[in-house]
Amino acid sequence: GAGVSQTPSNKVTEKGKYVELRCDPISGHTALYWYRQSLGQGPEFLIYFQGTGAADDSGLPNDRFFAVRPEGSVSTLKIQRTERGDSAVYLCASSLDTTSRQFFGPGTRLTVL
């Protein structure tokens, strides 16, 4: 693929529901990052995968947030019992390795009503 893709582009859900956000990194990129960008703010780091394992999940705000990357390619960010404060744009980025430039996807805009 040409770049990082994310689906869906927009997700509207109700408070308390479960959502999954998907990221398809650039083929061959071993490192994958999730960030969250609230309105008027810069992106904030959530979690980083090297291959299949979460190497750094220090940015996940609480245990409602979880992410997986079972085959070392596609990643899914999962949010349980969504709250209105979870509304934001969720960005995914991938890089060839941990020293290389990160390429960002277009993001998923999550709105929790």
Partner 1 sequence: GDSVTQMEGPVTLSEEAFLTINCTYTATGYPSLFWYVQYPGEGLQLLLKATKADDKGSNKGFEATYRKETTSFHLEKGSVQVSDSAVYFCARGGATNKLIFGTGTLLAVQP
Size of the site for partner 1 (CB under 8 A): 25
| Contacting residue, 41, 52, 80, 111, with partner 1 by CB under 8 A | 41
Beta carbon of residue 89, minimum distance to partner 1 (angstroms, whole number): 10
| Contacting residue, 40, 62, 70, 71, with partner 1 by CB under 8 A | 40
Residue type, 50: Q
Cα end-to-end span (Å), the chain = 34
Q: Which stretch binds partner 1 (CB under 8 A): 21-29, 47-55, 65-73, 76-84?
A: 47-55
* Bridge partner residues of 103 (DSSP): 94
Give residues with Cβ within 8 angstroms of 49, minimum separation 6. 31, 32, 33, 55, 67, 69, 72, 75
Return residues touching partner 1 (CB under 8 A): 31, 33, 35, 40-45, 48, 50, 55-56, 59, 91, 93, 95, 98-99, 101-102, 104-107
